[in-house]
Amino acid sequence: MLIIIDYGMGNLGSLANMLKKIRIPAKISSDLGDIESAEKLILPGVGSFDHGMQKLQELNLTDILNKLVIGEKIPILGICLGMQMFTKTSEEGTQPGLGWVDANTVKFKADKGSSLKIPHMGWDTIDIKKSHFMLQDTDYNAMYYFVHSFHVVCNRSEDVLSTSHYGYDFVSSLAKDNVIGVQFHPEKSHKYGMKLLENFCNHKS
């Protein structure tokens, strides 16, 4: 069963709504037993980095997630803050991240006098950097919904699945083995997002 990890950090409802629409059984849970027996995991997230990391600690999820993701190679998809928490650090806070990907999370740099507004909020295309099942059969002009003030910088270019452009190119999706992250919100990206969630959920590893 696919488990959507409920650690009190938002937008679980929209994810569950879309999975229901594409008929993928999933359960929203913070129960350690549920999470330990999951076939796949999704770590969603809206909110601040430190708050998210603290919540994982409070619910005793950090150790279990490390065991499942690093030890047992259970596929996990991080969305937005979820993906940022896979990195080692974030400029948004002082807590260490999960560190599953050799990457860091930094604040968007808008030059003074720039017309770029932060957060980066809206629909954008992605520039696919690597062939991967996550992005299989997606439209070349597919648009995805972004809303974020921070973005991920990968230290290893081979981990980058796609980049998008806002002032400059930034990582819009990444994958390292069973750890997959998307900066945008597939659950709010119409049929394009549905396709991505299907790709994640239906892939047999």
Partner 1 sequence: MLQEDFHLIRTRVIPCLLLKGQGLVKTVNFTNPKYIGDPINAVKIFNDKEVHELVFLDITASTEKRSPRLDYITDIASECFMPLGYGGGIRTAKQAEDIFNRGVEKVVINSCAVENPSFIHELADQFGSQSIVVSIDVKKNFLGNYQTYTHSGTTKTRWDPVTWALEAEMLGAGEIFLNSIDRDGTMKGYDIPLIKSVSASVSIPVVACGGAGTVEDFSRAVKDGGASAVAAGSMFVFYGKHRAVLINFPGDEELKSAGLK
Q: Interface with partner 1 includes 50 (CB under 8 A)? A: no
Q: Which of 2, 5, 12, 76 forms a contact with partner 1 (CB under 8 A)?
A: 12
Angle between helices 190-202 and 12-21 (to 10 degrees): 80
**Residues with catalytic function:** 80, 185, 187
d(CA 2, CA 129): 27
Among 71, 115, 140, 204, binds partner 1 (CB under 8 A): 115
Burial-class residue 114 by CB neighbours within 10 Å (0-12, 13-18, 19+). Answer: exposed
Cβ closer to partner 1: 112 or 204?
112
Residues 172-201 that bind partner 1 (CB under 8 A): 185, 187-191, 193-194
The nearest distance, CB 67 to partner 1, in angstroms, is 27
Task: Using the structure block, give the residue that is written with the tokens 């994958």.
Answer: 175
> Which one among 4, 5, 11, 196 touches partner 1, defined by CB under 8 A?
11
121 binds partner 1 per the rule CB under 8 A: yes
Closest CA relative to residue 173, chosen from 77, 47, 42? 77
Q: Could you tell me which stretch among 14-22, 63-71, 97-105, 127-135 binds partner 1 (CB under 8 A)?
A: 14-22
User: According to the binding rule CB under 8 A, does residue 167 interact with partner 1?
Assistant: yes
Q: What share of the chain is helix, strand, coil (3-state, %, to 5)?
A: 30, 30, 40
In DSSP notation, 78-104 reads EETHHHHHTSS-BTT-SS-----SSEE
CB of 56 to partner 1, least distance (A): 16
Q: Is 93 in the site for partner 1 (CB under 8 A)?
A: no
| Contact indicator for 145, 123 with CB cutoff of 8 Å | yes
For residues 154 and 26, give the distance between their C-alpha atoms in angstroms, rounded to a whole number. Answer: 30
58 or 177: CB nearest partner 1: 58
24 near partner 1, judged by CB under 8 A: no
| Inter-residue contact 52 to 85 (CB < 8 Å) | yes
Applying CB under 8 A, which residues contact partner 1? 10-18, 20-21, 46-48, 51, 81, 110, 114-124, 143, 145-149, 165-167, 185, 187-191, 193-194
